[in-house]
A = this chain, B = another copy of it.
């Protein structure tokens, strides 16, 4: 859909980093006036809702520098260039939790911040976790701790704002809508 399309007059590339790029587009608005749009480009991400045999949710705690605090989240990671999300999500599960799976279902996908960024997150579910015999190395600058939580423990973490991000809040609502308890 191209309703209210904003045509690009010019693009100014500001920054190209390890993860994000930033550009400012000058655009023509539907009324003919011009404006500027600040746009963050991101490779996209995958996330997985991993439920254990005894009905607990696997979560990872990690430091989030933009917030200057750690959050407890469902396992996730950014897509490598050209990587298929279905493969990426198994790799992230293995790296972050020490489990793998042969049964991964795509639940939904969503843009996290369509006003200023193009990041698209694909959310998967697995209830068939297989422990890896050998640990898989993740990114060398990532430090995560694994947690297994009940619904009550997850609710407590939401109240304490230890769980406080879109994909994990979505995951909890999804599991509850499916009768998780």
Which residue of the partner chain, among B35, B113, B170, contacts A113 with CB atoms under 8 Å?
B113
B-contacting residues, A122-157, CB 8 Å: 140-141, 143-145
User: How many monomers of this protein are in the complex?
Assistant: 2
Q: Are A64 and B115 in contact (CB under 8 A)?
A: yes
Interface size of A in residues (CB-CB distance below 8 Å): 73
How far is B157's CA from A140's CA once the two chains are assembled, in angstroms?
Answer: 40
**Residues of B close to A168: CB separation below 8 A:** 110
Q: Are A166 and B110 in contact (CB under 8 A)?
A: yes
Which residue of the partner chain, among B5, B27, B61, B114, contacts A3 with CB atoms under 8 Å?
B61
Per-residue 0/1 for A63-87: is the Cβ within 8 Å of any B Cβ (1 yes, 0 no)?
1111101110100101000000000
A117 to chain B: closest residue by CB: B66
Q: Are A113 and B108 in contact (CB under 8 A)?
A: no
Per-residue 0/1 for A35-77: is the Cβ within 8 Å of any B Cβ (1 yes, 0 no)?
1111111100100000000000000011111110111010010
Which residue of the partner chain, among B18, B164, B177, contacts A173 with CB atoms under 8 Å?
B177
**Residues of B close to A22: CB separation below 8 A:** 14-15, 20, 22, 40
**Residues of B close to A113: CB separation below 8 A:** 42, 112-113, 117, 119, 166
Q: Are A4 and B164 in contact (CB under 8 A)?
A: no
Q: Which 5 A-B pairs have the closest CB atoms?
A: A35-B141, A37-B65, A4-B63, A4-B143, A166-B166
